[in-house]
């Protein structure tokens, strides 16, 4: 597996796994990236000893393997949708005082579309 010092071994394994996953998403050959991602996840889930948290991460990633590898088949991400959802959740958290649903909807559209610089009233 990965030979490291015992002092920082778990941290180094986590860092190398993270870097490997990032490299997979940057690779131009999707088939090779797919197989590298599989091997990283399999190596993580087979960890023993003091690496129980990393092994649990590997098992969790393995359960969602089809979802993770779908990026390499399709080549698109749901990142933009999640970004808009995050903005709307933030707005919902700070907009507890809205009494009018239309105002809330308008404010949501403005906030998620980043068009506040085009509207003088905001």
Q: DSSP label at 121?
A: T
Domain spans of the chain, in order of start: 9-74, 79-118
Dist CA 1 CA 13 (whole Å): 9
Of the candidates 4, 111, 104, 108, the one whose C-alpha atom is nearest the C-alpha of residue 54 is 4
Phi-psi region of 27 (alpha: psi -120 to 50; beta: other; left: phi over 0): beta
- Which sign does the torsion angle of CA 72, 44, 65, 22 carry? negative
What would the two tokens of residue 103 be? 């105002």
One digit per residue, the tens of pLDDT, for the chain of length 122 reads: 455 566 677 888 899 999 999 999 899 898 999 999 999 999 999 988 778 888 999 999 999 988 888 888 887 777 888 888 887 788 777 666 777 877 777 777 776 665 655 555 54
Model confidence pLDDT, tens digit, residues 33-61: 999 999 999 999 998 877 888 899 999 99
Of the candidates 16, 80, 72, the one whose C-alpha atom is nearest the C-alpha of residue 47 is 16
Q: Are 61 and 68 in contact (CB under 8 A)?
A: yes
Dist CA 9 CA 52 (whole Å): 13
Q: Are 37 and 68 in contact (CB under 8 A)?
A: yes
């Amino acid at each position: 597996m990965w030979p490291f010092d015992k002092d920082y071994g778990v941290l180094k394994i986590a860092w190398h796994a993270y870097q490997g996953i990032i490299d997979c998403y940057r690779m131009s050959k999707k088939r090779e990236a797919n197989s590298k991602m599989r091997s990283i996840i399999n190596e993580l889930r087979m960890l023993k000893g003091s690496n129980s948290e990393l092994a649990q991460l590997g098992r969790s990633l393995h359960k969602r393997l089809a979802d993770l590898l779908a990026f390499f088949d399709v080549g698109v991400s749901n990142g933009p949708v999640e970004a808009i959802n995050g903005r709307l959740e933030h707005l919902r958290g700070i907009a507890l005082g809205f009494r009018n649903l239309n105002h809330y909807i308008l404010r949501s559209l403005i906030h998620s579309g980043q068009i506040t610089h085009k509207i003088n009233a905001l």
